């Protein structure tokens, strides 16, 4: 009587190899766009010298981006006197929905064209595990990328126009080594980790904390 063990072993090996190939293909599908992403250039924004609630700029990619902020009840916000716990609604349009963004209060880069950061809040806590508490976020992660949607805070409102609405809860002025009472900060958008060196989505609205 012929043993069936060798045949069973071969089937198991083929199954394991097939699974390994699928896992590798999935990893490459996620990593390749990150590794091969080419910067689209800068956003073209001149950072406002005063505290304004709206700004626009034409980026190197030809898109006209707009960033604005208001209170949760639609009223103007005193961006020169933020307090921890304030509820802000940040709106944007003209963004490239093919590039995910973080929205947070970040340090304004000292050099023109530099990356905004560090930020108060950073990546939303628990976002990479898909467990972020969306009821009181000090930072928001927006993406339409299929590989990251399950982990991000939300998607773009309208990918065609690059519009989004992000609700932020103002955190403490000093978090993780950044003190916005000593460093000039802004409500900022910037490309997420899949295009970390791309500055085309960078838009800034300067803020200050109430004494």
CA distances from 192 to 69, 123, 131, 163, 197 (A): 20, 9, 18, 16, 9
| pLDDT tens readout for residues 53-97 | 999 999 999 999 999 999 999 999 999 999 999 999 999 999 999
Q: How confident is the model at residue 10 (pLDDT cuts 50, 70, 90)?
A: confident
Mean pLDDT of the chain: 86
What mean pLDDT is predicted for residues 122-131? 58
CATH superfamily label, 42-207: Neocarzinostatin-like (2.60.40.230)
Q: Which residue has the higher pLDDT, 21 or 180?
A: 180
- DSSP-derived letter for residue 109 is P
SS3 of 164-195: the string is EEEEEECCCCEECCEECCCCCEEEEEEECHHH
Residue 7 has pLDDT above 60, yes or no: yes
With a threshold of 0.85, does the pTM exceed it? no
Confidence band of 189 (pLDDT split at 50, 70, 90): very high
- Percentage with pLDDT > 70 across the chain: 79
Angle at 136 between CA 165 and CA 200, to 5 degrees: 40
Matching residue, tokens 């809040």: 121
Res 29: pLDDT? 46
pLDDT greater than 60 at residue 110: yes
pLDDT value at 191 more than 50: yes
> Which tens digit of pLDDT belongs to each residue from 134-177?
667 999 999 999 888 888 899 999 999 999 999 999 999 998 88
Q: What is the reported pLDDT for 184? A: 97
Rounded to whole angstroms, the Cα distance separating 115 from 112 reads 9
């Amino acid at each position: 009587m012929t043993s069936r063990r060798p045949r069973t072993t071969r089937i198991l090996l083929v199954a394991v190899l097939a699974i390994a190939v699928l896992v590798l293909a999935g990893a490459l599908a996620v990593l390749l766009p990150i590794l091969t992403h080419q910067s689209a250039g800068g956003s073209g924004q001149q950072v406002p010298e005063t505290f304004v609630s709206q700004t626009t700029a034409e980026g190197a990619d030809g898109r006209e981006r707009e960033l604005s902020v208001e209170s949760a009840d639609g009223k103007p916000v005193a961006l020169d006197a933020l307090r921890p716990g304030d509820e802000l609604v940040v709106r944007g349009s003209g963004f490239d929905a093919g590039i995910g963004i973080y929205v947070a209060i970040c340090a304004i880069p000292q050099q023109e064209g530099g990356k905004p950061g560090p930020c108060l809040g950073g990546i939303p806590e628990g976002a990479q595990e898909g467990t972020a508490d969306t009821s009181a976020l000090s930072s928001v992660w927006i993406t339409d990328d299929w590989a990251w949607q399950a982990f991000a805070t939300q998607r773009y409102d309208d990918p065609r126009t690059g519009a989004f609405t992000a609700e932020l809860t103002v955190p403490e002025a000093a978090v993780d080594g950044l003190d916005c009472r000593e460093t000039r900060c802004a409500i900022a958008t910037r490309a997420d980790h899949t295009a970390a060196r791309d500055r085309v989505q960078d838009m800034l609205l300067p803020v200050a904390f109430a004494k």
